[in-house]
Amino acid sequence: MSSSTDWPLWEVFVRSRRGLSHTHAGSLHAPDAEMALRNARDLYTRRSEGVSIWVVPSTAVTASSPDEKDPFFEPAADKPYRHPTFYEIPDGVKHL
Amino acid sequence: MTTTANAAALALGDDALVLSHRLGEWAGHAPVLEEEVALANIALDLLGQARVLLSLAGDEDELAYLREERSFRNLQLVEQPGGDFARTIVRQLFFSVYQRLLYGELATGSGPFAALAAKAVKEVAYHVDHAEHWTLRLGDGTEESHRRMSRACEELWRFTGEMFQPVDGLDLDWRALEREWLESVTGVLERATLTVPEGPRSGAWTAGAGRQGVHTEPFGRMLAEMQHLHRSHPGASW
């Protein structure tokens, strides 16, 4: 059994055939990007045609820190002009 | 189906069925979880092919579970035990390249196997890709993995000539198929820093009678396990 240092963790993003964007599907271990792609295809797409897969080494992802959550994400809810809620969305506008 | 087409369906169907079973033996034993999924995936593809082919020849369950060893028409290559991971990969490489060439040819024809072959070539292309990748990784990996790959190539080489014995009902240029196979496999092995074995691929000391129903010793044990339940409860439905 190889240790996890030989088989680093990869994050997998999949865009389905009719999908608009890549969505994080999960993670897996693989020795390199090529193998990660192949494993992702088996694990997360069941080989559906027309899907797109991205694999990213987990170490390349920088995440926001939960400790800084408050100053980082706190919306100024008392300032309604910050939120685009006053617009009527016309019929026929898709993907909003 | 004509008698010869029937015979061809059995030969191809048995190859897929038996190799599928051998790959299924890896479930829970593969080196890493991701590889386990890949092997199971390939096994499922092959089992799907086997079901279609055996159904062309008769009742799939009856054919799979009630025939004796001497009635199976698979190549001796596919019945060889998996051994270590290297051996499984070499077996996959040899057989997948063969299947890709064979189905590629059948898909362009108009015979009874054209529809199946057209569907299977996509699956088989993936199997070849998987086997090639691992051959390169292990052959050109560490000293140990290289040694194991060399050993597996040497051990399985003598089973490869049998693949190009003409099968009744398949009108193919077997010589050309064999040339292409050798070319493909040689290319992959060389890229993987492995030596193409020099041993014989046909003649004495090689396999050659799987298609005639003569099999190697491990096959009987495999069938006993595969058929046990059906033989214990004949006629049951599940």
Residue at A91 is within a domain: no
Q: Which residues of chain A have pLDDT under 70?
A: 1-5, 69, 71-72, 75-77, 96
pLDDT tens profile B200-214: 888 777 877 999 999
Query: How many Cβ atoms are within 10 Å of B138's Cβ, its own excluded?
Result: 23
Residue at A75 is within a domain: yes
Residues of B in contact with A39 (CB under 8 A): 34-35, 37-38
Q: In what order do the strands lie in the sheet with A52-57?
A: A23-29, A9-15, A52-57
Residue at A42 is within a domain: yes
For residues A53 and A13, the answer to whether their CB atoms sit within 8 Å is: yes
Residue at A80 is within a domain: yes
Asked if CATH classification 1.20.1260.10 holds for the domain at B3-232, the reply, yes or no, is: yes
CA B58 to chain A, closest CA, distance in angstroms equals 30
Residue at A95 is within a domain: no
pLDDT on residue B208 = 79
Strands (E), chain B: none
Residue at A93 is within a domain: no
**Full-model pTM:** 0.87
CA A82 to chain B, closest CA, distance in angstroms equals 46
ipTM for the assembly: 0.74
Nearest to B76 by CA among B197, B218, B217, B216: B216
Residue at A92 is within a domain: no
Q: Which domain holds residue A29?
A: 4-86
pLDDT on residue A96 = 65
Query: How many Cβ atoms are within 10 Å of B8's Cβ, its own excluded?
Result: 25
Chain A segment 47-76 residues within 8 A of B by beta carbon are 47
Q: CA–CA separation, A6 vs A3, rounded Å? A: 6
What is the overall mean pLDDT for chain B?
94
Partner-chain contact A29 B32, CB within 8 Å: yes
DSSP state of B213: T
Any idea how long chain B is?
238
pLDDT tens profile A38-65: 999 988 887 777 789 999 999 999 988 7
CATH of the domain at A79: 3.10.20.520
Place of tokens 């990660």: A36
Q: Residue type at A22?
A: H
pLDDT on residue B140 = 95
- Considering CB atoms only, which of A1, A34, A43 is closest to B34? A43
- How many structural domains comprise chain A? 1
pLDDT tens profile B107-160: 998 888 999 999 999 999 999 999 999 999 999 999 999 999 999 999 999 999
Question: For B121, what's the count of Cα atoms within 13 Å in the CB-facing half-sphere?
Answer: 13
